[in-house]
Structure 1
Amino acid sequence: MTTLDTYIHAATRDNTRRSYQSAVRHFEVEWGGFLPATADSLARYLVDHAKSLSINTLKQRLAALAQWHIDQGFPDPTKAPVVRKVLRGIQALHPAQEKRARPLQIEQLEQVTQSLDQTIAASVHAGHRPAQLRHTRDKALLLLGFWRGFRGDELTNLQVQYIKVVPGEGMTCFLPQTKGDRLGHGTTFKAPELAKLCPVTAYLDWISLAGITEGAVFRGVDRWGHVGESGLHINSLVPLLRSLFAGAGIAFAEQYSGHSLRRGFANWATSNDWDIKTLMEYVGWKNVQSAMRYVDGADPFGKDRIGRALSTVTPQLPDTER
């Protein structure tokens, strides 16, 4: 790879690159399409997957195929009217409600943390270093992910050399690339030091125990207690979280995902009187629509508001009783 190729490669987030490569492979290998593609072949591809793939997945596949054509110097067939019309038709005939991750509540966060503390203590007592390492890592990942409202890829991309701890205050985490950072300037996030459920203490416990001084923060640990050189793969995060939740006795553990920490924090913040502007600045959302997707109303069914209103209504007597 030349120096030019290195810089071009660095311009795209690894998560985006993997997603686009998967989409192109699905079109070309699994479906049997040919690249460069025609607008008609893309329309047929959409039709063949209209019932099996969500509209968001189809849009992501088109974005990947559009980028492939642009990168290779070919006209973009995804902009053709027939492709756009087919996509709108699929959306009209196969409407789907957006699936949202179940938010991790603060009580559940405390429950999982207490479970991990007990497991860590038992591992230390038994002299089982691999288990001690894994559960110390998991505690740091859980608390930092929640209190920072991190996405899964942001957690797995954290690097020790970009993290600074200010004793008694908190920590700053610099990420050279994030989803919302279109200009590539990098983003700095801050996490507070807390009296309980502290992400800073958990982070320091983990890197001290693992002896990590640079590179990925969260890494795999093998059965002999060897800490890996590379970071956890993004695909391992959801199974890891679900395993933690199930082990702590959290109901419906299989319904949680990497976004559960982010949604959980957003709901905790709004229930503690954070206004939407403060929440957006803290988490890093650029627009209100993105933020509101993660926030559940305090009274989602309107039961309390309607109930209070009904309780103030004075019943009207029939005319015969007046």
Structure 2
Amino acid sequence: MEKSAQLAVVVPTRNHALVELPPSVAKYVEAGLHGAENTKRGYAADLRSFQDFCEHHNLVHLPADVTTVAAYVSQLADRGLKLATIRRHVAAISKLHQLAGQPSPTNHEALSVVLDGVARVVGKRQRQAPAFTVAELKQAIRAMDITTPTGLRDRALLLLGFAGAFRRSELVALNVEDIELTRQALVIHLRRSKTNQYGYEEDKAVFYAPSADYCPVRAVQEWMECLDRTSGPLFTRMSRGNTQRPAQPGKARLSDQSVNDLVQLHLGPAYTAHSLRASFVTVAVEAGQSNKAIKNQTKQKTDAMIERYARLDDVKRFNAAQNLGL
């Protein structure tokens, strides 16, 4: 029997052994090794930074020694990078070695000790995105000029982002065709998210509010009427307006940074796009919602993540001492 002209696929495994697989599985190997597009782009930038560091210090970046990675991590920490960013750089180095079939220095116990130390030092100065209250959100909505398309868009984005516990990457990825209006709620069909890299369909439900002024369902409906189309990006950039005609919806999708800018524009510089999600969790916990109900909207996998997201550190508002029966 003639051998296939295609080459077999050689795959590095977790224990660094090389396994030869038939060429028919090549596309799945490629997807499994490289991961999501956003992850690939982020890793590419991180690896350029690591390679520049190694070249500057005359160090080998592949395969890298654990002392090299430890020195790089220390430099990132000294530059004031966030702990999550530093961990992403380490993950990129690990992926580089996995793709090359090389043992990864990131698995070394010595590096774990360094990372623990960085977490203690950097973690102390790291500030989480604060949560706003429902009253603050309503105040921001009242201040918007919803007679303009820009006001309609911003109101819809803030109310949907909060009520749906959305990440900003999820908000900007939404398309008009992902929105389904039912009698009970607005159902959003998520095609992919940070915790759903395999494209399983996930739904979020956003419900009508008693007041039309703050109703996320009505806000999204009015914005979609302004868009006047049945497909394409849900949240778009606006064209330049003038004194005769206000800015109109464009065709280009909003960026992640744009969502952050809009949150700060309307709610204040203390908040970020992540505050939309953190505020949902905090308000839901304060209202006595179960972890299961919260996770059904946030799509978080563990109760520990809810504890991490909830901003319940105000000792005057969240304290069992006020209900002791004295």
Normalising TM by the smaller chain, what interval? Answer: 0.7 to 0.9
Q: Which deviates further from its counterpart, 180-189 or 106-115?
A: 180-189
* 1:217 Cα deviation after fit: 0.6
* 1:292 Cα deviation after fit: 1.1
Whole-angstrom CA distance in 2 between matches of 1:241 and 1:299 = 22
Of Structure 1 and Structure 2, which has the larger fraction of its residues in helix? 1
Whole-angstrom CA distance in 1 between matches of 2:284 and 2:226 = 31
- Partner residue of 1:85? 113
Within 5 Å, give how 1:108-257 maps onto structure 2.
108-116=136-144, 119-121=145-147, 132-166=148-182, 168-196=183-211, 197-224=214-241, 225-245=247-267, 253-257=268-272
Whole-angstrom CA distance in 1 between matches of 2:155 and 2:32 = 33
* 1:92 Cα deviation after fit: 4.8
Whole-angstrom CA distance in 2 between matches of 1:174 and 1:147 = 15
Partner letter of residue 55 of structure 1? L
Q: Percent identity?
A: 24
Gaps of 5+ in 1: 122-131, 246-252, 313-322
For normalisation by structure 2, the TM-score amounts to 0.78
2:103 to 75, 80, 85: 75
- In structure 2, relative to structure 1, the CA distance for the partners of 1:9 and 1:227 (3 Å cut) is farther
- In structure 2, relative to structure 1, the CA distance for the partners of 1:12 and 1:115 (3 Å cut) is farther
Whole-angstrom CA distance in 2 between matches of 1:50 and 1:79 = 19
* 1:137 Cα deviation after fit: 0.7
- In structure 2, relative to structure 1, the CA distance for the partners of 1:227 and 1:25 (3 Å cut) is farther
1:178–1:186 contact (8 Å) kept in structure 2 = no
Whole-angstrom CA distance in 2 between matches of 1:239 and 1:216 = 18
* 1:304 Cα deviation after fit: 5.8
Whole-angstrom CA distance in 2 between matches of 1:270 and 1:183 = 29
2:34–2:40 contact (8 Å) kept in structure 1 = no
Q: Which deviates further from its counterpart, 267-276 or 290-299?
A: 290-299
Partner letter of residue 20 of structure 1? Y
* 1:84 Cα deviation after fit: 2.7
* 1:212 Cα deviation after fit: 3.0
Query: How many matched pairs?
Result: 288
1:54 to 82, 91, 96: 82
Larger RCO (CA under 8 A, 6+ residues apart): 1
- In structure 2, relative to structure 1, the CA distance for the partners of 1:41 and 1:112 (3 Å cut) is same
- In structure 2, relative to structure 1, the CA distance for the partners of 1:156 and 1:10 (3 Å cut) is farther
- Secondary structure at the residue paired with 2:44? helix
- 4+ runs of 1 displaced by more than 6 Å? none
* 1:287 Cα deviation after fit: 0.3
Gaps of 5+ in 2: 1-25, 242-246
- Partner residue of 1:26? 49
Whole-angstrom CA distance in 1 between matches of 2:33 and 2:227 = 29
Whole-angstrom CA distance in 2 between matches of 1:24 and 1:93 = 24
Whole-angstrom CA distance in 1 between matches of 2:169 and 2:249 = 20
* 1:104 Cα deviation after fit: 1.9
* 1:201 Cα deviation after fit: 1.2
Whole-angstrom CA distance in 1 between matches of 2:177 and 2:301 = 26
Superimposed CA distance per residue, residues 83-112 of structure 1 (whole angstroms, 9 cap, x where no aligned partner)? 333323434555525522121211111111
1:215–1:230 contact (8 Å) kept in structure 2 = no
* 1:139 Cα deviation after fit: 0.7
